[in-house]
Amino acid sequence: MNYSNNIAYCISEYLNCRYNIRFDERICYLLTCSLGLQMFFKDSALTPSKEVGINSINECYIESFNPLALETFSTNIRAVLRIDHNDDLNDIKWIAYDFENFNKMKTLVLVSSNIFNNKNIIGNHPVYGLVHIQDSVNSESDLGEFKTKSINIDFHKNSSKKINISHFFNQWSVSGTDIFNANRYVLIPPKFRDFNIAIPYLLKNALVNQFLIITEGGKNRQIGSQLFYNLKNDLLRNNSADNLLKHINLFIYSFNKSDILGVLDMDRCLAANCFEYLYQLNLIKSTEIIDTLKLSSEVWVNIRGFIKTNKNISISEMVDVYDKLYHSEILFEKHLKNILSAWN
Amino acid sequence: MELNTVNYKHSPGGSCASVAWSGIFKHHGYNLSEADIFGLGSGLYFGYCAVGASKLFDISLTSSSIIDDLMINTGVHGKLIQHHNNSDCLNLILKSIDNGNPVALLFNPYYCEGLIQITPIETQKYLPAHWIVITGYNSNHKTLISYDNRQFNPIEISFENFMKGRNTGFFDQNPRNFLYNVLFFDKVYPMETSIKLAIQKTCINFLDVEKILSFYVGSYGFEKCVRQIKQWNLMLSPDQLQQLLQKIYISSTGAGGIKGAYRNLFYKFLENSASVLNKPEIYEVANLFKESAYNWNIFVQKISEYQHEYNELNWGNNSELSNLLQQIFDLEISGFTSLRKITQ
């Protein structure tokens, strides 16, 4: 089971390498407010251009992800976040400069999932990475020379890849008007007077924010328990073979998507680890949320196995899947609310 | 069609960011005043920059991440995107107008005619990047129709100046081609929770953060500034001191449009918050900031007097500026300490 999350790992390592600041990956994960299980369009990148609806599930997938994770993290810890993307060549020269001048310092970037060349995944999805130049470079080099170099990207503790640098010179049009390109980020954390005193306030804020993301906002929100409630109702309203297939394919695509970074349980076990860490820090008193998330992880692993290996899933079996997921999420939301109420 | 405008209601005010986004939110049906936007964006701030070796000093009184915080705290899905191609960006804005939506835009102040007209020439160099709202365009004249926070009537900006104003000026004046892609106004969180989130983040800035970039922040910054301001005349030449005082005057008054160093806006936000949260104890805290605003007015008047004539008696251990700042600090730290407890 992968216990390392893409954005949380990248932020944690970035802050550690650049500023010698230890932000535990579990804390980073909570501060990005990425715990919500949400439905996204397949062919969408940084920002969805239209609202996701239950009637468009054949265009969607489910993931535990926050499209504004980096922005959320930076506002939660009062950091400065800058997107630096002057042009492709300058971005690469910055990465080379870091490599040459800052003891092989890694740079935080956003790239497209298409670098995994996974034919099961369509569209371009944002994937964070830490990069440094693999081959030795001269930051004064011209574009032609750079294009022959390769770059190493770390996605999380257990995942990295070497790719040709020309990837950074691609642009991808996505639905709506966004042009998705590899972005380079600069994230500058503040200096706290006493981090141990500040961290409970930072985390409480983040968990309040997380609770809001899951439970509030939007007429047709497709997130958390409400998502599975809506999906189940859609299947009960329209129990045709066609619609059943759409629901099954929703999960198959979702599992294929999460496979590229080795996530087997929608990061539920990681979430459990995070709250376990808060419990060890004495910031939460109850372990109910930890147990709920561990159970949710098992549910997801079982559902994954069931859907991937079964050719003939019935309507009632699919409804049962939704019941289990709805139950998991509603319990998680309830325990999160209780934690916030009890927080000192 | 020659002229296309959206049905936009402009309310002038002192803070360009808050006025612009108040207009945008109101357009989408959320009646948030300039003060509400300022508060919800965790806009109140104190930062003191002191790099003695470079003779670089400054005071900053508003947060630079007000819009990011506003988006995260209210739940509106807004992503900052860099649009390098001027024509593409212009077309995006025209399309937004065609769809009936105004666009808030950060701009080089030298291309904001309304602002430049009312700012003395010698202090224009201290103006930071400026927020305006585009509410229409004239395709025959090739102009954009815009509102500036200090003006009642709209102003036309040529397409040519729009291009020039997008990525020019020195660092603080250069908007760097950023544009917020704002998509989901229906995901606004309940006001009660947004207010608490925003206040808690403002408290973190003041009570827990020591330094952000080169600024000493919050209570730590205040303490440092109170000590050092007595000796500015020893650390800087008379010319450098005059320039510093001019710069502080511009930033603390929003180029002359703000009274009380934005504390009046925060006081009004707190008054509204007391009612929404049903916590009358917040009215007392609001009064602390009302008093702080009064003291800031005196501080700014002194700054204005001192910048015109150098007098050694204004500095040293009996510095009136230092004493005023100490009084302001005492009020604000009391205010934030109470706010943290009340909104926990």
- pLDDT: which is higher, B134 or A1: B134
Q: Which of A161, A149, A150, A156 is nearest to A118 (CA)?
A: A161
Mean pLDDT along residues A8-20? 93
Do A193 and B208 lie within an 8 Å CB cutoff? yes
Share of chain B above pLDDT 70, in %: 100
CB contacts, 8 Å: B217 with chain A: 190
CA atoms within 13 A on the CB side of A80: 14
- pLDDT surpasses 80 at B183: no
CA distance B311 to chain A (A): 36
Residues of chain A neighbouring B65 (CB-CB closer than 8 A):
74-75, 78, 80-81
Higher pLDDT, A35 or B308: A35
Nearest to B213 among A46, A83, A188 (CB): A188
Give chain A's mean pLDDT.
Answer: 86
Interface size, chain A vs chain B, as Cβ–Cβ contacts under 8 Å: 120
**b/e per residue, A223-235, with b = 16+ CB within 10 A?**
bbbbbbbbbbebb
Select from B68, B75, B84 the Cβ nearest to the Cβ of A217. B75
Contact residues, chain B, for A216 at CB < 8 Å: 75, 187, 189-190, 193
Look up the ipTM and state it. 0.92
B220 or B178: which leads in pLDDT: B220
The pLDDT tens digits for B9-57 are 999 999 999 999 999 999 999 999 999 999 999 999 999 999 988 889 9
The pLDDT score that the predictor gives to residue A1 is: 56
Cβ-defined contact of B220 to A75 (cutoff 8 Å): no
Determine, for residues B210 and A193 on separate chains, whether the beta-carbon distance falls below 8 Å: yes
Q: Which residue of B has its CA nearest to A78?
A: B205
Structure tokens of B208?
A: 């827990």
Kindly give, in sequence order, each residue whose CB lies less than 8 Å from that of residue A67, ignoring residues fewer than 6 positions away. A40, A46, A47, A48, A126, B77, B79
List alpha helices for A168-240, DSSP H.
195-215, 224-237
| B136 three-class SS | strand
A-chain CB neighbours of B179 within 8 Å are: none
Q: What is the predicted pLDDT for the residue at A47?
A: 44
B chain contacts of residue A194, beta-carbon cutoff 8 Å: 208
Q: Quote the CA–CA distance of B329 and B321 in Å, as a whole number.
A: 12
CA distances from A248 to A86, A140, A312, A313, B38 (A): 43, 52, 10, 8, 46
Q: List, for residues B85-137, the tens digit of each pLDDT value.
A: 899 899 999 999 999 999 999 999 999 998 998 898 988 999 999 999 999 99
Among the residue ranges A18-27, B176-185, B321-330, the one predicted with the least confidence is B176-185
Most B CBs within 10 A among A81, A187, A201, hence the mutation to make, goes to A201
Contact B208 A71 (CB under 8 A): no
Asked whether the beta carbons of residue A205 and residue B197 sit closer than 8 angstroms, the reply is: yes
Tell the residue number behind the tokens 């950060």, with chain if given. Answer: B106
